[in-house]
Amino acid sequence: MADIRPLLFFDSGVGGLSVLAPSRALLPDAPLVYVADSAGFPYGTRSEGEIAARVPALLGRLAERYKPRLIVIACNTASTIALTHVRAALDVPIVGTVPAIKPATEASRTRVIGVLGTQATVRQPYVDDLTARFAADCTVLRHGSAELVELAEAKLRGDVTDPAEYRAVLDGLFGQAGGDRIDVIVNACTHFPLVEAELAAAAPHRVRFVDGGPGIARRIAHLTAGQDWPERAAPGVAVFTAAPDPALVPALATYGLDRIETL
């Protein structure tokens, strides 16, 4: 019998679609379940204690319901705070999402990089550790933005967003001392690659954006190498922890998520 256990992607909202997309491209036959904790959205303004308690409990319920072969915490905030708690609680392979500081430093010529995430992510000791390990010879400037998360959600709903709002967010990086020398920005929230084109257009000079999505896809492929997949992938499932917004349905369908459920 074919192994129909899905890959389960988890985020506070729709940001994790930026991780699901390269994974779907690499593993087109994989059954997919995408979970947006819309009842807990947004994570970036919540306390560490709230996230550390909420995420393992919720993923425990989801693992029981969907029996995934692997769970991807497609959220930098949840990963930097709750990843060890989830791994301790569940007997399922867990892949986390962390800021792509290492590839950013490899790409930087000026040795000044920006880390753009949520407020909760950019202040984490995990980011300090990544910086010390991989960017010791760089100036690393950080900025947390809740507004950019909302802009990404709005774009997925089909709303028109204001370019001035993206410029205001980026000023939090480029306006810092040395910010004029930034040549690479880490999108350290999975929502942000969804608005990368808008960010690039709003930047005061040409800059490269990097994120962890492609690397996560390769990690999933490695961990599932040799496993069986259905001959034809079933329609993907999008799960919300609160009433789903009907305006998101067309965008979800473009990611192969044709069924909508509420937890």
The catalytic residue among 32, 182, 189, 194 is 189
- Work out the end-to-end distance of the chain between its first and last CA atoms, rounded to an integer number of angstroms: 28
pTM beyond cutoff 0.85:
yes
Q: What is the Rg, in whole angstroms, of the alpha carbon atoms belonging to the chain?
A: 18
Record the tokens describing residue 41, joined without a space.
Answer: 């959205």
138 tagged catalytic? no
The catalytic residue among 32, 33, 75, 122 is 75
pLDDT tens digits, residue range 54-97? 999 999 999 999 999 999 999 999 998 999 999 999 999 999 99
> DSSP code of 11?
E
pLDDT tens digits, residue range 200-254? 999 999 999 999 999 999 999 999 999 999 877 778 999 999 999 999 999 999 9
**Cα–Cα distance for residue pair 68/45, rounded to 1 Å:** 29
pLDDT tens digits, residue range 4-38? 899 999 999 999 999 999 999 999 999 999 999 99
Contact 149, 11 (CB under 8 A): no
